[in-house]
Structure 1
């Protein structure tokens, strides 16, 4: 009988399938449903730095500047307080690991929030660092340094595992992952996804693009997971973005991931997707004769020279010459 148990960033999971942060992971009833369906862990809906800042900006007033500090404090406390209550309530009803999530792009007050999140009972904290660097005065490497600073500052305040969810706009994921591990990160997630922007050519307005990922989005994360897991074998990785069936789970594990974060497929198909993916993974393992995930994890990563050659290939020339 094959076992789906795995370790990820110090967390013991009964399945490598982690429900990624999304609107449904703010619902206690939904999270209970995900646990019953076989999820290994859940990432709570993110606490967004920009949302707090936007709400504060909408409520402060130039007419009463003396009240602005109080308003800022009140709004921050209300948002954070609600989040801490969610953590405590989920922990009271669920036994799977609960991962809190902070979506941040500065190294501001997150150390303080992180400590309170730990005290509320979260099993781990995911730091979701995303932003676009557009200044002509930008110094290459500053964005990567921001990741390291945030991890260092938060690590000094908490003992729970820190998981860093990175965007794909990193010049060298291997170097950054190595530095994050040295700073105290327990695991990384590859990759976050930018908000999709579309243009309505009739109304000449910006609209939201497709918010969901598909299997076509998976290849980039598989490539870098295969490369990073070979270069930094002691750093657990989770794949995110494009896992839409058990096959995506298998591919991720073969690439060297310890787990996957899934949101789009679960939003579209419900908690039943988790059960089906676990069943498909287990059937595949039994068909191959694998007893544990460790038996095949990383079998297709860059540790093997031939695998490395394929993962490092960036040009289409050879592919098209073979096709035509």
Structure 2
């Protein structure tokens, strides 16, 4: 095993930097480009049985938003921008798509870089049928039950209750003879409960978390995109890491987790790993920097882990979840010697003349 090789739900990949499902992985050329750029694994664009979900792609739109709120079109996006978008599923017949997946798998497998099929849930029975066929050509299947567009587009579903997640995953699990990864929403009352439900229904790994519903006025009487959309950004990183770390703590190291939503740099990837993820999916970083970003991320993770190994020993396996050893529940945090808020209120009092 190499320093960066990781196993997630029985799937062995060259490194933990994965590419998530998006328009960038909707063609054979896009899938191959991600493999060749160094991704540990590549998740293909999602499909399902719904013609309406495919038509939704006809109104896809993308706005990139800087940390200061400046809105840029796709061609002017910069590293670190957030992405607000409207999207749909791949517009392709299933048989044709299976052929594309088979070709991509054939390219990635000899390089240790598997290509994973993806289904965005609409009807569980239909998803099971697609999953059964997909498992015949890909080494693993991702089932997305947390699509951020699910609140706006009835052709996809966004499950936020544990019972619903369990029932849907069980139907698909019974049909899919391959590792099954379940991707969950970030906006739910208890994402850990959803992760536990997915696992109890047979998920081999759990993805945390999908992007959030979003809305951004343009202040001229309209809205960016002209509608609601889905939002992901570097600012989402601590929110995503909250659920990854909580799921790792609750479910234990035996449940493989895949992190997503917020990773733009090698440091971001490392923070996902330290929080308990065994792999990290990136998407927006590729929108803003192209496939070459993958080599940068992999090199950064590799350099850090090598340096760490010379000081502490161990490798990726020991690093995953390492941040949790120093994390306490609120009730276990000892009182601060000097309250952290004290200098802030003192400074405010001086500035206000009190």
Q: Secondary structure of the equivalent of 1:158? A: coil
CA distance in 2, matches of 1:34, 1:169: 29
Contact 2:211-2:231 within 8 A present in 1 as well: no
Residue 291 of structure 2 is matched in structure 1 by 271
Q: What do residues 8-42 of structure 1 show as CA deviations (whole Å, max 9, x unaligned)?
A: 12110111011001111112223222222221100
Retained in 1: the 8 A contact 2:212–2:232? no
Match of 2:272 in 1: 252
1:12: which partner in 2? Answer: 12
Query: Given the two structures, how large is their TM-score scaled by the length of structure 2?
Result: 0.73
Q: Where does structure 2 lack aligned partners over 5 or more consecutive residues? A: 57-89, 153-158, 334-338, 346-354
RMSD: 3.1
Aligned counterparts of 1:54 and 1:253: Cα–Cα separation in 2: 34
Question: Which of the residues 139, 142, 155 maps onto 1:123?
Answer: 139
Tell me, yes or no, if structure 1 residue 199 matches structure 2 residue 184. Answer: no
Distance 1:176 1:311, change over 3 A: farther
Shift of 1:88: 1.6
1:180 & 1:219 partners in 2: Cα distance? 23
3-state SS, counterpart of residue 98 of structure 2: helix
Tell me: CA distance 1:216–1:43, structure 2 relative to 1, closer, same or farther (3 Å).
same
| Correspondence list, 1:215-294, <5 A | 215-233=234-252, 234-289=254-309, 290-294=313-317
What CA distance in whole angstroms lies between the structure 1 residues aligned with 2:277 and 2:128? 28
Partner residue, 1:85: 99
Equivalent pairs counted in the alignment come to 291
Q: CA deviation at 1:146?
A: 2.0
CA distance in 1, matches of 2:341, 2:27: 48
Segment drifting more, 176-185 vs 9-18: 176-185
Deviation at 1:310, TM superposition (A): 6.1
Pairing 1:21–2:21 present: yes
Conserved 8 A contact 2:216-2:224: yes
Distance change >3 Å, CA 21–CA 54, structure 1 → 2: closer
Contact 1:102 1:128 in 2 (8 A): yes
Unaligned regions of 5+ residues in structure 1, if any? 57-75, 134-140
